[in-house]
Structure 1
Amino acid sequence: MADTNAKLTVNGEEYELPIIEGTLGRPVIDVAALQESGFWSYDPGFKVTAPVESKITYIDGGKGELLHRGYPIDELANNAEYLEVAYALLNGDLPNAEQKADFFEKIREHTAVHDQLRKFFEGFRRDAHPMAIMVGVVGALSAFYHDNLDLSNEEHREITAIRLIAKMPTLAAMSYKYSQGEPFMYPRNDFSYAENFLYMMFATPADVDYQTNDVITRAMDKIFTLHADHEQNASTSTVRLAGSTGANPYACIAAGIAALWGPSHGGANEAVLEMLDEIGTVENVPEFMEKVKSREVKLMGFGHRVYKNFDPRAKVMKETCDEVLEALGVNDPKLELAMALEKIALEDPFFIERNLYPNVDFYSGIILKAIGIPTSMFTVIFALARTSGWISHLLEMHSAPYKIGRPRQLYTGETRRDFVKVEDRK
């Protein structure tokens, strides 16, 4: 509801713009009345524009706070399983015992993918990036789940969400197995969500008694939870924009995966490991950090566009990182290098004053590296986790009246000019 109005004067004409208060965060000014003025608003990168109303996730970058349906991210990551968080994102509240059992069972029932999808994988080169494969195979789900899909129907929305969340680990693991030339592993419904993903990633048909490490399984589940949703970021906005056309939801999620692949978005944890490769050894860290201070090089995995304080996800991820490294007893020079970077960033006034703390990408990259997951799979795992957030936003949009996305532009090209025949062109 509009509580009061802002007044804007344009060329002597005054316009009243409603100020709308949310439950948390800054109030927003409804600029729809600008249409009558003959002007558009201009906001590159949507830095101060709220194109949607949502009840799912809230971020306070100044406080370093992230809430899913009102629940703080650290409490969720330390106390709930990823699928419980996914349920909350979709439904508004954490499930009770009966709802949890029912939701988990529905997920288990849909973990398998159509056998015809095996042929899709065979069409890719073995050295194709797993994210390229994921864009293709997730989009291909549209061909399997298209008929009789009515997103105005609540039951259809629910089964779409369950299918996507259930099948994403299977498709992600298949992307990895294909790149390795190893046989696909079918999901096991006696395993938990994270445990099943690790099984499909690392087991082979010869491993008849395959068992996962409890520390690694918990770490993977936390990685999923910490990446489940992050408000109106680039990939979520892409999913919503594609969905606003009425497009098939599986195609919309594929669009989100494509947006996530960018190095400025989901590719950041990959960039952390690439940065460590460039630094080389621990001895080179001081020199590298001096170059960071002089802006000669960019420090990946530190700071965040939204959080002006410590990334709340990073606090949980650091604790998990320490647990994993201790449990595995990993002796990896690259991980030692990462710890040396972390130490300087947490102690040097230059980084402290600028709030350049390690973010979730920094620690998740270290954990995934320690577990043995290749760098090329980092963003795939991000996409797997973020699917619950993407589909929650898409279905929230479809559960109420919405408009097709259609941004305006500031045109700076040529004015109207006459066509010139080719023989007369200079």
Structure 2
Amino acid sequence: MADKKATVQVTGQEPFDLPIMSGTAGNDVIDVRTLGAQGVFTYDPGFLATASCQSEITFIDGGKGVLLHRGYPIEQLANDSSYLELCYLLLHGELPSSEKLEEFEETITHHTMVHEKIANFFHGFVVDAHPMAMLCGVVGALSSFYHDDLSITDPAQRKRSAYRLVAKLPTIAAMAYKYSIGQPFVYPKNKLSYSENFLHMMFSVPAEDYEVNPIIAKAMDKIFMLHADHEQNASTSTVRLAGSSGANPYACIAAGIASLWGPAHGGANEACLTMLQQIGSVDRIPEFVAKAKDKADPFRLMGFGHRVYKNFDPRAKVMRETCHEVLTALKINDPLLDVAMELERIALEDPYFVEKKLYPNVDFYSGIILKAIGIPTSMFTVIFAMSRTVGWISHWDEMLSEKGQKIGRPRQLYTGAPKRDYVTVDKR
């Protein structure tokens, strides 16, 4: 906390000071909480210049391409850690000892089963329901099964609900996929790792044995890690806002899933695959690159550049290497993957893309990996939601741990009609 102040001058009023707060990294922020007492408040659509909370979980410096979870660079975590170890870090604030990690992994593993009656929810959906619709509905319904962890004032119950959500989301996600293609649900296996279990539940069938490819399992684990948390984005803010009302954790995560479903947020890798399908073949790439360079043309290359990262996406560096490992291992002959690799080459070499920093981002590479694995585009955002659940629930728990936590209540700039008298219908 710094002693710096900002002086505000409102016409017709005496100047007044607002404290300036400093975190451990990033920009200073002006504390505007007392503005209301002065008869004014800030106007910031989208909250792009407003810090809605204090948080110790994730820090992003978009200009420098930095992403830290609890202080640890994402590159180090993705290359040397695992998704469940990252989950422990996000939930508990520190890396676990080997004993604590083993205990945590065992706890998550033994919570992966879901109540058998949850299958009935899926059977109530039409067969062509979007998997995100099913995920949102079923996660919200979990509160009707787990009455023993709905007290948000009890830290032990909050932790138990967090563990359950992290454990059960892969099972529910895989059930949504299986239902959408008319195959029977597959139960989790405790001998498998988190990512292996997800792949097993997605792709195995009762008629034959399924062997998990370790390269694919490793790639899935990195996809989970690279999407685990990303500071105060739309869906995380939604979870926090829902949680500020005292809503139970399952309802809050369902709210986050609904927010993530929006194409401007969680649909980036799906939009990237749609773009590749639009291009169709390598020989058409010059045509679409020219369209992308033409400011008058509405076409935009999806999966390139990033709203937050102005130089490079640190997650994309990790994902690029994994992407090439998967494509080499699977030896897939797919024209769309050929298009993707040629687009990557152009983006990394063409002066126009280099100058404008339109580098391939994490969504570009994760979409390619998921397609290569055989996961349909309708499941891309489901996997994103599954990965992000640990970030959402960590922010939810952090918010409820704060003293004096208040329900969210944004203000507005009213631009409607001024006060006017009602006129009965016969006199209008």
On whether the aligned pair clears a TM of 0.5, the verdict is: yes
Q: Deviation per CA, 1:120-145, whole angstroms, max 9, x where unpaired? A: 00111111110011010000111112
Cα distance, 1:2 vs structure 2: 4.0
Partner of 1:390: 392
**Structure 1 SS opposite 2:5:** strand
Partner of 1:15: 16
Partner of 1:218: 218
1:65-80 pair list within 5 angstroms: 65-80=66-81
Q: 1:136 to 1:88 in 2, by over 3 A?
A: same
User: Which of 373, 376, 389 is the aligned partner of 1:374?
Assistant: 376
1:265-414 pair list within 5 angstroms: 265-295=265-295, 296=297, 297-401=299-403, 402-414=405-417
Q: 1:95 to 1:147 in 2, by over 3 A?
A: closer
Cα distance, 1:395 vs structure 2: 0.4
Cα distance, 1:147 vs structure 2: 5.1
Q: What amino acid maps onto 1:219 in structure 2? A: A
Q: Could you tell me the TM-score, scaled by structure 2's length? A: 0.97
**Structure 2 CA distance for aligned equivalents of residues 148 and 21 of structure 1:** 36
**Structure 2 CA distance for aligned equivalents of residues 377 and 192 of structure 1:** 21
**Structure 1 CA distance for aligned equivalents of residues 210 and 308 of structure 2:** 41
Q: Deviation per CA, 1:133-163, whole angstroms, max 9, x where unpaired? A: 1010000111112356222222111101100
Structure 2 gaps of 5+ residues are none
Cα distance, 1:374 vs structure 2: 0.3
Count of matched residue pairs: 424
**Structure 1 CA distance for aligned equivalents of residues 333 and 9 of structure 2:** 65
1:45-194 pair list within 5 angstroms: 45-146=46-147, 149-194=150-195
**Structure 2 CA distance for aligned equivalents of residues 139 and 379 of structure 1:** 17
Cα distance, 1:211 vs structure 2: 1.3
1:415 lines up with 2:401 in the alignment:
no
**Structure 2 CA distance for aligned equivalents of residues 343 and 291 of structure 1:** 17
- Aligned-pair Cα RMSD in Å: 1.0
**Structure 1 CA distance for aligned equivalents of residues 274 and 283 of structure 2:** 17
Given that 1:3 and 1:21 are in contact with CA atoms closer than 8 Å, whether structure 2 keeps it comes out as no
Given that 1:330 and 1:370 are in contact with CA atoms closer than 8 Å, whether structure 2 keeps it comes out as yes
Q: Could you tell me the TM-score, scaled by structure 1's length? A: 0.98
Partner of 2:43: 42
Given that 2:285 and 2:343 are in contact with CA atoms closer than 8 Å, whether structure 1 keeps it comes out as yes
Give me the identity figure in percent: 65
Given that 1:245 and 1:404 are in contact with CA atoms closer than 8 Å, whether structure 2 keeps it comes out as yes
Given that 2:261 and 2:381 are in contact with CA atoms closer than 8 Å, whether structure 1 keeps it comes out as yes
**Structure 2 CA distance for aligned equivalents of residues 286 and 149 of structure 1:** 56
**Structure 1 CA distance for aligned equivalents of residues 63 and 275 of structure 2:** 28
Given that 1:10 and 1:37 are in contact with CA atoms closer than 8 Å, whether structure 2 keeps it comes out as no
Structure 1 gaps of 5+ residues are none
Q: Deviation per CA, 1:312-351, whole angstroms, max 9, x where unpaired? A: 0000000000000000001100000111111111111211
Given that 1:16 and 1:33 are in contact with CA atoms closer than 8 Å, whether structure 2 keeps it comes out as no
Given that 1:90 and 1:392 are in contact with CA atoms closer than 8 Å, whether structure 2 keeps it comes out as yes
Q: Deviation per CA, 1:172-221, whole angstroms, max 9, x where unpaired? A: 000000000000000000000000000000001122x3210010000000
**Structure 1 CA distance for aligned equivalents of residues 219 and 406 of structure 2:** 40
Q: What amino acid maps onto 2:85 in structure 1? A: E
Moved more, 150-159 or 103-112: 150-159
Partner of 1:3: 3
Partner of 2:201: 200
**Structure 2 SS opposite 1:206:** coil
